[in-house]
Amino acid sequence: MKQTERFAPHIFLHGGDYNPDQWLDRPEILEEDIRLMKEAHVNEASIGIFAWAKEEPKEGKYDLEWLAQVINRLYKNGIYTILATPTGALPHWMTEKYPEVLKVDEHGIRRIHGQRHNFCPSSPVLRKKMQGINEELSRRFGRHPGVIAWHLSNEYGGDNDAKTTIGCHCPYCEENFRKFLKARYGTLDALNKAWWTGFWSNIFTDWNQIHCPGEGSEHTMHGIKLDYKRFVSAQMLDFCKAEAEAVRKYSDRPVCSNLMGAFEPLDYFKWARELDFVSIDSYPDWHHVASARPEDQLPGGSVLPCDAEPARITAFNYALTRSLKKQPFLLMESTPSMVNWKSRNPVKRPGMHELSSLQAVANGSDSVQYFQWRKSLGSSEKLHGAVVGHMYGADTRVFRDVARLGERLETLAPKVLGTVNKPKAALLFDWENMWAVNDAQAVVQPFGYQERMKDWFKPFFDMGIDCDIVDMDSDISDYRLLAAPYNYMYKPGWAEKVREFVQKGGIFVTTVWSGIVNESDRCFEERHPLADVLGIRPEETDTRPPFMKNWIRWREEGEEIPERAGRKHPLYEVRDLAGIVGAESAEVLATYTDDFYADSPALTMNRFGEGCAYYAAAEGDTAFVKALLVRALSDAGIECPLEARLPEPEASERPWAKLPHGVTVSMREKIESGASTGDNSGARSDDPAGTLLFVQNFNARPVEILLKKAYRNAENGQICQDGITLEKYQCLVLEEL
Ligand code: GLA
Ligand code: GLA
């Protein structure tokens, strides 16, 4: 069966994690759940995520009768099930009898039973037990009309202690790591060369000399660390594939897993190829950042929040999730009110629930789902937000917010289904590049690739321009602009791909700290792999102490920014990295103002073939990144799809902007018939029918927008034109007329 044929839900889902397994002795609660779900306009429940101990109470003895009753009851009431495999948490009988199922840490210590997400993905016993329960679930429910998809495990690798490695260091994993390396390199000689093992006497003469790297063993050799990260992601994926195979034995339902955005340990681009569709769990920091604007300072010393900051980080994660398969995804988990695991846990302010849910839809989600439907009475998540709390049933603010949104989603669903965002701009975010650049022992440490990338996403968000996120293996031919900041690693074929992209008219933007190492983290020799396309000669990279300031002087007429230190030209501050480069064929657009490299290139542009390539030698402040992207987007002919302008005086203050501060736009267009959902090649349709513009106000105050043409409100049919007001936290969905 073709992957896209399995793309799940042909319905727009509103629902979430539901744990009836915790309430089996309370039948009246289970009845009430159904009544409340209907009242909340819920049509989906994700079930059985942590229910292994209830599903297989004794080894090999399955008890799925209760589950059958739950699924049937839901189905009879018009509520679909996404059925989970239960490997997210192991039953006690298993860890007691087979300790090998638990993960071994990097000091060689095996975990003791506790928490969740802590299994060894190589353990043969675990795989056998997983296969047993998964096949049984598939046999019983795999073709049940109420079951629409499989939720494989839960947040694979989402171990609370995990930072950059979630790997298991048991003998099975070590053996599998060696197998992985044999398949990658073939011979020890090739491996020794790739890893440059002559350094510190590391030449391997036997495969058994290779151990999983970690704190207690090798942790300085970049080549082995990078390959180990690849292995950890691949080995967990191998387990996930085995889970998929087990449920597919009797079931034709599509499989997904709940992913976590830019989760460093797992290379989700590779994962997405094995899943029929993808989903994300999203818990943004709403109401965590104080607004810096004078009008948001309240009498008495309180300050309104600036939710544009968490919103752009969230938009990045949604764009990434959508781009994994270039098709709609599901928002598998979000909280209807608050979480319980941040240092502070504000409840969502009125309006934020609708806005934050519609933000996911705006960026390509075909669902709004929650963790969790009903709060447990005990254990670690008893005080986490839920649709139904411990008291007052439907008579709460949170429940009413959810029900109101459910109604809105029912109106929007027919228009949203069959559409997706089709950006013409893309940002390179590559897991292997991230692993290598974050491990580089140079410049600034820790490097923080993710945070730096999210800064590059900010201008797209601020300008209301959708942007895909791609990796070096993605097809880039359909984009007009590709930004690849901190592209430290160039995988085989990448330079050629970019060269062709620019040759054919693409606009390419890259930065300092690019083109340094190959796929094995070995440095390139002689010249930058894209020296011809960029037209430059990078020589040194300086990271000055913060007290040694430097600035970027943009030579052309740029946007007016305040003069600094009495200088006359538009100036931007240099942040951490300052590349010292020579311009060969490239035109110098900006130079440094200070230090021994004053007047040398800080930004260059090189015409190549039909396109051009920008190189930001200086790592500029956010205003610099914005100015650079404003220019590159204009070269590429990409702009905010909403035809609008700002009222004065904001229009003069922010000449690049069509939208007020804190407002963004995302556009979903018809997925062309004939083209599969996973296909981005269908160029933007000339027929605007079916196009939806989501105009989102993340300000805690109303804003005004001046429309340059008329649109129709997709929910109530009213015509919107000229000046319109977006209320605090409002999301307006507009259609082209
Ligand atoms: C020490 C070591 C050298 C080298 C340098 C790097 O001095 O002896 O081998 O690692 O540090 O600064
Ligand atoms: C994750 C998990 C859920 C729950 C939520 C709480 O997303 O998948 O099981 O723990 O966090 O926010």
- Residue 143 in tokens: 């073709």
Q: What average pLDDT does range 600-616 have in this prediction?
A: 98
The percentage of the chain sitting over the pLDDT mark of 90, rounded to a whole number, equals 89
Looking at residue 385, its pLDDT comes to 98
pLDDT tens digits, 498-533: 999 999 999 999 999 999 999 999 999 999 999 999
Closest CA relative to residue 736, chosen from 669, 639, 671, 664 = 669
pLDDT at 687 over 70: no
Q: What average pLDDT does range 242-247 have in this prediction?
A: 98
Looking at residue 216, its pLDDT comes to 83
Report the separation in Å between the CA atom of 371 and the middle of ligand 2, taken as the mean of its atom positions: 6
Q: What average pLDDT does range 283-301 have in this prediction?
A: 94
Q: Is 114 exposed, middle or buried (0-12, 13-18, 19+ CB in 10 A)?
A: exposed
* Active site annotation includes 333: yes
Report the separation in Å between the CA atom of 512 and the middle of ligand 1, taken as the mean of its atom positions: 26
Mutate to test the pocket of ligand 2, among 17, 19, 155 (most ligand atoms within 8 A of CB): 155
The percentage of the chain sitting over the pLDDT mark of 70, rounded to a whole number, equals 94
Q: What average pLDDT does range 404-426 have in this prediction?
A: 97
Q: Mean pLDDT over all residues of the chain?
A: 94
Q: What average pLDDT does range 428-439 have in this prediction?
A: 98
Residue 542 identity: D
CA 616 to chain CA mean position, Å? 25
| pLDDT tier at 673, thresholds 50, 70, 90 | low
Cα 435–515–585 angle (5° rounding)? Answer: 160
Q: How far apart are CA 262 and CA 494, in angstroms?
A: 21
Q: What average pLDDT does range 14-24 have in this prediction?
A: 98
pLDDT at 225 over 70: yes
pLDDT at 563 over 70: no
Looking at residue 556, its pLDDT comes to 60
Looking at residue 653, its pLDDT comes to 86
| pLDDT tier at 215, thresholds 50, 70, 90 | confident
Looking at residue 683, its pLDDT comes to 37
Closest CA relative to residue 333, chosen from 367, 379, 286 = 367
Residue 723 identity: G
Q: Is the pTM of this model over 0.85?
A: yes
Bond preceding residue 649 cis, omega within 30 of 0: yes
Closest CA to ligand 2's atom 3? 371
Mutate to test the pocket of ligand 2, among 281, 380, 384 (most ligand atoms within 8 A of CB): 281
Using DSSP bridges, classify how beta strands 536-542 and 571-583 pair: parallel, antiparallel or unpaired. antiparallel
Ligand positioned closest to the Cα atom of 199: 1
Q: What are phi and psi of 512, to 5 degrees?
A: -50, 155
Q: Verify whether ligand 2 is closer than 6 Å to residue 281 (CB atom).
A: yes
Cα end-to-end distance, the chain, whole Å: 39
Q: Verify whether ligand 2 is closer than 6 Å to residue 339 (CB atom).
A: yes
Of the listed 333, 619, 669, 735, which one is catalytic?
333
Q: How far apart are CA 476 and CA 487, in angstroms?
A: 15
Q: Verify whether ligand 2 is closer than 6 Å to residue 155 (CB atom).
A: yes
Closest CA to ligand 2's atom 12? 339
pLDDT tens digits, 94-108: 999 999 999 999 999
Q: Which has the minimum average pLDDT: 292-296, 395-399, 555-559?
A: 555-559
Bond preceding residue 305 cis, omega within 30 of 0: no
Looking at residue 286, its pLDDT comes to 98
Report the separation in Å between the CA atom of 348 and the middle of ligand 2, taken as the mean of its atom positions: 17
